Amino acid sequence: MAQVMIDIAGTELTEEDKTLLGHPDVNGLILFTRNFQSLTQLSELCQQSREAAKKPLLIAVDHEGGRVQRFLQGFTLIPAMADFAYLDDTAQQLTLARDMGWLMAAEVKAAGLDISFAPVLDINDVSDVIGDRAFADNASDVVTLASEFIAGMHEAGMAATGKHFPGHGSVQADSHVAIPVDERDKQSIFASDLPPFRAFAKKLDAVMPAHVIYSQVDEQPAGFSRYWLQTVLRQQLGFDGMIFSDDLSMHGATVVGNMQARADAALTAGCDMILVCNDRAAAVELLQHELPETNAASQQRFTRMLSGDVSMAMDELQRTDRWQRAQQGIETIRKAVGR
């Protein structure tokens, strides 16, 4: 058994979706805006997907806040992570970072999902695709704010996934549509980008590597590199959580070869679960081939990512003091930003 995360096209399952979710190698489902119509529909979709899988299924979404938030109607609009910096009071920044981590995670869980791929631990430098998704333009502030955001996620019962290891902020090209190459030397990368991942090596439940080639360090993108995933992340940083590949359909992954080659390379390099999204034909073809098997440690990491039963429905959640306080915090952030 391998561990593969797929996507679906619509707001309800097709027969092909059900068949793929039942495939022994498929253990994950990622949802996008196109899969969302209403809170009730989303909750039913999650339930039906788990029934179709007939095994534990990790359901995920990119719901960071700001411009990367897949579900809107019925959900709170979470501020961008960079917005905390507009607050003059440091203590208030930390309190609201924790509240936003809790709020994001609690609402996503209330809809029936397990995880949101968050937080972004990149340093905001020259990358437009990162930009205000990052907490700050320096590692110290990223660590300080992300620590609270992660704590809030954990208080809501959600595992935290740091991305994009070892850092996507210092290369301008967007790995969705290009093959980014970061030509900085190893010392610069380790000094400026790696500190958040080093600081959270024991706190993060999962990490997602970047589809970026750090040419002075390794010829392979980080998500296909044994050096980055095994030598640095596992051995030097001591990380024992889940490693998710970024979407193998992204252009930044094409340097490795076809989808079969990408899947084999990512799993062999050390990814516990690979994402194959927005290319159903490639996913179908991939699942017809034998993939590298998941070892026992990887299976245990997968189990730790599952959030279990929904602890609180959305309407119940919205009546809690914590949710009401978080809404007030959002108004405070909006006023500070001037929106």
Q: pLDDT for 322-333, tens place per residue? A: 999 999 999 999
| 335 has binding-site annotation | no
**174 confidence band (pLDDT: 50, 70, 90):** low
3-state SS, the chain, equals CCCEEECCCCCCCCHHHHHHHCCCCEEEEEECHHHCCCHHHHHHHHHHHHHHHCCCCEEEECEEECCEECCCCCCCCCCCHHHHHHCCCHHHHHHHHHHHHHHHHHHHHHCCCCEECCCECCCCCCCCCCHHHCCCCCHHHHHHHHHHHHHHHHHCCCCCEEEEECCCCCCCCCCCCCCCEECCCHHHHHHHCCHHHHHCCCCCCEEEECCCEECCCCCCEHHHCHHHHHHHHHHHCCCCCEEEEEECCCHHHHHHCCHHHHHHHHHHHCCCEEEECCCHHHHHHHCCCCCCCCCHHHHHHHHHHCCCCCCCCHHHHCCCHHHHHHHHHHHHHHHHHCC
Considering the domain delimited by 20-337, tell me its CATH architecture.
Answer: Alpha-Beta Barrel (3.20)
User: Would you call 176 a catalytic residue per the annotation?
Assistant: yes
Q: Residue range 199-216: average pLDDT? A: 96
163 is in an annotated binding site: yes
Is this model's pTM higher than 0.85 or not? yes
Greater confidence, 2 or 336?
Answer: 336
Asked if residue 55 belongs to a known ligand binding site, the reply is: no
Q: Which residue among the candidates 99, 205, 246, 264 is catalytic per the annotation?
A: 246
Choice among 94-98, 126-130, 214-218 with the minimum mean pLDDT: 126-130
Average confidence (pLDDT) over 211-216: 94
**Is 226 assigned to a binding site?**
no
Write out pLDDT tens, residues 120-169: 999 998 888 899 999 999 999 999 999 999 999 999 999 999 999 999 99
Query: Would you call 246 a catalytic residue per the annotation?
Result: yes
289 assigned ligand-binding residue: no
Q: Which of 132, 154, 174, 176 is catalytic?
A: 176
